[in-house]
Amino acid sequence: MPAKYLIHIDYAIRHWSMSTPSPGLYLMNKEQKVDIIKDFERKSEGVIPFMNFTISLGVSLDETMNDLSVLSKEHDKVLRETYFGTDDNTHLSLLDFVNPVLVRLNENKHKDEVAEEGPQSPSS
């Protein structure tokens, strides 16, 4: 299943991906981070990193839009089959697939434990 993306902003902008390598397993990976320059006099220092961040984020958003287009077409097909009576009742509810368990890891508190487990980034 393709990765999903999340943006988290505080004193930096973090771009996260979430993948589901197997049913019921949700991996969140920090894809990239760019610091927000607070000192206006140093603003030029943040331009290039911010541009790189934005370009990479744009690529991820483009991939997401393509995935949404595919999902929309699949959904429309199921609706047409159901509406015109060609449904064979084999379609499952989203609740049959999703049973999420949320685990919150604090980056600073849990980075050592994650480092011991090795890289968990999805293969590209």
Residue with tokens 């839009």: 65
**Is 15 buried (19+), middle (13-18) or exposed (0-12) by CB count in 10 A?**
buried
27 beta partners: 19
Q: Give me 49's structure tokens.
A: 């990193």
Compute φ and ψ for 106, nearest 5 degrees: -85, 130
Written as tens digits, the pLDDT of the chain (124 aa) is 566 888 888 889 999 888 887 777 778 888 999 999 888 888 888 899 999 999 999 998 898 888 888 888 888 888 887 777 665 556 666 666 666 666 666 666 656 655 555 444 444 4
Ordered by start, the domain boundaries in the chain are 4-68+99-117
Q: Tell me the C-alpha distance between 121 and 73, whole Å.
A: 29
